Amino acid sequence: MQTRFMRRTLLIIVGLTILQALLLVAYAHYEAEVLASESDRLTDRQLYSRARENAERALALNPNHGYARYYLGYLELLQERYPEAINVFQSAIPLMPHLPALLKMLAQGYFFSGDYARATQTLDRYLRMDPAPRAGPDLIFRMWAQALCYSQEFGRASIALAKAEAYQKFRTELLQTRVLNSILLDQIPMADYYYRMFKFFAPTHRMDPGPLFANALAAGKLQSLTRFLELNRMRGELDGSTEKILALAYAKQARLDLAIATLKRAMGFVPNDPEIPLFLGDIYYQQGDHKSAEGYYRLHLQLAPESRFKKEIQQKFPALR
């Protein structure tokens, strides 16, 4: 009789202990839910520090809280901490495989960190889940088009651009991507058409030549870029920045005399740009004209006394120390 009583007592104690543990877990999960919701509200109010604190406290109480991870990743993205955002979003995917917005945010992390191939792959997954986005479709399709273009998937980029244009046909970013994609497809007349459209709708804007050069170089399309820039020069539409890009394209194609002439013309547009005499010094040094190289390097150091190339230049020419 006594043994039976002890067994019952033990079962009651074990049951109460389990119940207490379950209640504690339930309370922790409830508290995590409250904290995660508060984090979202604080983010909307741009109180990012407090929002982060709430999201992290929610995860401490419930590490499997998918929305807390999502909110934390979104905070990292807003503060341009892209590697951190990517890590958080990746850890949230197994917890919330049903949420397309999570893939959209992850794709933005990849895109803004310059990993266009992964941005493309992630947006492909996202669009399979949500082929007709209701929130920000213009941004999604524009980002998808640019990621495809930068990943050298030019045909698919054309399709994505057409979808993006259904929302904002004459947006300057879209037109610039159209220009770039046409250059990389060797469609110079089409690139020129989109460039003229860009100038019509944004007459005070200038295209950023950096992405043109970087992507043309990566795709082995410097000759197409050169033809496009030469066409615009004939109209008198180049400036110092685009002249520099054209000069770099000439230099990469070993057309050094043309590169020198173009850089000297660019110097007329922007006489205080320290990069131009630096490029001229490099080209003259490569040609073996050390006297001219030294003169342009000297001018570069006068315009940029703290140049990151200072030691390298002074090793070549001790007189410039």
DSSP per-residue string spanning 87-109: HHHHHHTTT-TT-HHHHHHHHHH
Whether the pLDDT of residue 2 is over 80: the answer is: no
Q: What is the pLDDT of residue 120?
A: 93
Model confidence pLDDT, tens digit, residues 169-179: 667 777 888 88
Quick check: pTM over 0.85? no
The confidence score (pLDDT) of residue 123 equals 92
Please state, in angstroms and rounded to a whole number, the distance separating the CA atoms of residues 113 and 81: 9
Residue 164 and residue 200 in contact, taking contact as beta carbons nearer than 8 Å: no
Q: How far is CA 177 from CA 80, 91, 154, in A?
A: 23, 32, 11
**Are the C-beta atoms of residues 105 and 77 closer than 8 Å to each other?**
yes
Q: Any idea which of 95-104, 158-167, 224-233, 254-263 has the lowest mean pLDDT?
A: 158-167
Say which residues have a Cβ less than 8 Å from residue 144's Cβ, sequence separation at least 6. 120, 123, 127, 160, 163, 164
Please write the tens of the pLDDT for every residue from 262-272. Answer: 888 888 888 88
Instruction: Determine the Cα–Cα distance for residues 142 and 218; give it in Å rounded to an integer.
Output: 21
| CA nearest neighbour of 87 among 61, 57, 109, 65 | 109
Rounded-to-integer distance, Cα 130 and Cα 201, Å? 32
What is the rounded average pLDDT for all residues in the chain? 81
Q: Select, from the ranges 36-40, 118-122, 285-289, the one with the highest average predicted confidence (pLDDT).
A: 118-122
Contact 264, 283 (CB under 8 A): no
The pLDDT value recorded for residue 320 is: 78
Is the pLDDT at 21 greater than 50, yes or no?
Answer: no
The pLDDT value given to residue 142: 84
| Alpha-helix residue ranges (DSSP H) falling in 185-309 | 188-201, 209-218, 222-234, 240-252, 256-269, 275-287, 290-303
Comparing CA positions, the residue from 224, 259, 257 lying closest to residue 244 is 259
Q: Looking at residues 222-241, what average pLDDT do you find?
A: 82
- Please report, rounded to a whole number, the percentage of residues in the chain having pLDDT higher than 70: 88
236 or 294, which is more confident: 294
- Token pair 């509200």 is found at 41
